[in-house]
Amino acid sequence: MVNNSISPLDGRYFKKTRALTPYFSEQALMKYRVVMEGEYLIFLSLSGKTKLKKFKNTEIKKIRSFYKLSPKDYERIKKLEETINHDVKAVEYFLKEKYSKTSLKNRVGWIHFALTSEDTNNIAYALMLRDALEHVMIPGVKEIIGSLNQLAKKYKNLPMLARTHGQSASPTTFGKEMFVFSTRLEKRLEGLKNIKIGTKLNGATGNYNAHVAAYKNTDWVKFSKKFINSFNKQKPGVLKLEPNLTTTQIECHDSYIAIFDTLRRINTILLDFNQDMWRYISDGWVEQMPKKREVGSSTMPHKINPIDFENSEGNLGLANALFEFFARKLPISRLQRDLSDSTVERSFGTAFGYTYLAHTSLLKGLSKIRIDKEKIGEDLQNHPEVITEAIQTILRREGMMMPYEKLKELSRGKKVTLAEIHEFIDTLKVSGKIKEELKKITPENYIGLASKLAGLK
């Protein structure tokens, strides 16, 4: 059946991005709100700071049983929202209906006690972001790093022509070039894992007004800190929640932007990688292994296009455009707040979806390649001029005047052979030992420390 979804993430690519639906779908947002409200009610009862009776273990278990929402539950929440035109209040009413049918019926008035909708929402989104990063995004980036490290290790000694400005340059190794990308990604990934997600629980204008009106002797700042940190105790590890004690009605979203900017930087590194791989494939240094039933062109039978790397590049661009917009939009809110952030937050999953699709496409591309060592070697041999850098440097060491200029006259803008370079060496006024040293330099062995750098930590 043809899917009629407007977004390709929910249509064409749904099977490839469904790993994110438990974190960013409309149903996921409902669930995380239910979790937040439930945990808040439990924490409120156990704190002993209000008249809310302390829950028994069986009652806590009952509250948490409502976290597993059924399709019927989702429909009920949406029906309530359509009636009252408020999504968070609909969750509150839904929970009151649920609790009213249990032994908790006399305590339904404590649901959402002294809270504003942003208290519920900002913690729900913080949990969504944390869980999606921990379970989907971070493992995906780690898998890419692992694949690149395998290539780095396998081909650390494979000499390869380098290019600066697209022109032949001092040789490197294929493995070292792969390792450049993996180390860049590792640094950004480490930074991502250490970001603390700011969250707030302080009422309608950030001052605990309602809390203090009801219980003026309670230390509500301490209470909110303990409640927010309780989510870290439930799930120790990376990307911890951090209490933001000084806010307006809304949490300022600055930590969200730190996450999005880091993901954007990771994506930019991968954009760079995709474009390099595209060039390696174009040059024939990297081959794509054909699949028997696939076609590469509607008219040219021979084609195997680098579609996975191209698909990845396009989706990385879409994701980064959204991340950049989030960074411009979300830290700004008129006075205490305006609602424009709410509709933007609902697109977090879209940015994550394009990112995840790009990452999986890249991995698919890597799974289908073969490194053509013969072609790489042949192209390197066809550019002996790259060793002129080494020759002029050694001649500088020996005190020769203007060696750069001599090599420039020999090689710049010309097709020069290794034999011609050796003939040039024979004309130099240096010792036979130095000439022998110069003639031992070849494009294949002029790789500096590339092999060592390909595994350097």
Q: Which residues are known to be catalytic?
A: 165, 297
Give all strands (DSSP E) within 113-158, no chain letters. Answer: none
> Do 319 and 354 form a contact (C-beta atoms < 8 A)?
yes
Token pair listed for 391: 């020759």
Q: Strands 197-199 and 167-173: what pairing?
A: unpaired
Q: Are 310 and 392 in contact (CB under 8 A)?
A: no
Q: Are strands 197-199 and 241-243 parallel, antiparallel or unpaired?
A: parallel
Residue-wise burial string across 249-279, b where 16 or more C-beta atoms lie within 10 A, e elsewhere? bbbbbebbbbbbbbbbbbbebbbebbebbbe
Burial of 440 (0-12, 13-18, 19+ CB in 10 A): exposed
Q: Which of 220, 320, 204 lies closest to 272 in space, CA to CA?
A: 320
Instruction: Give per-residue burial for 2-39: e unless 16+ CB within 10 Å, then b.
Output: eeeeeebbbeebeeebebbebbbbebbbbbbbbbbbbb
Please state, as a whole number, how many other Cβ atoms lie within 10 Å of the Cβ of residue 299: 6
Give the tokens for residue 377.
């070697």
Q: How many other C-beta atoms lie within 10 A of the C-beta of residue 81?
A: 18
Find the largest Cα–Cα distance for the chain.
Answer: 101
Other CB atoms within 10 A of residue 181 CB: 21
C-beta atoms surrounding 82 within 10 Å: 9
Residues 6+ apart with CB under 8 A from 271: 313, 316, 317, 320
In order of 155, 183, 450, 453, the CA distances from 456 in angstroms are: 14, 9, 10, 5
Question: How far apart (Å, rounded) are the C-alpha atoms in residues 94 and 89?
Answer: 8
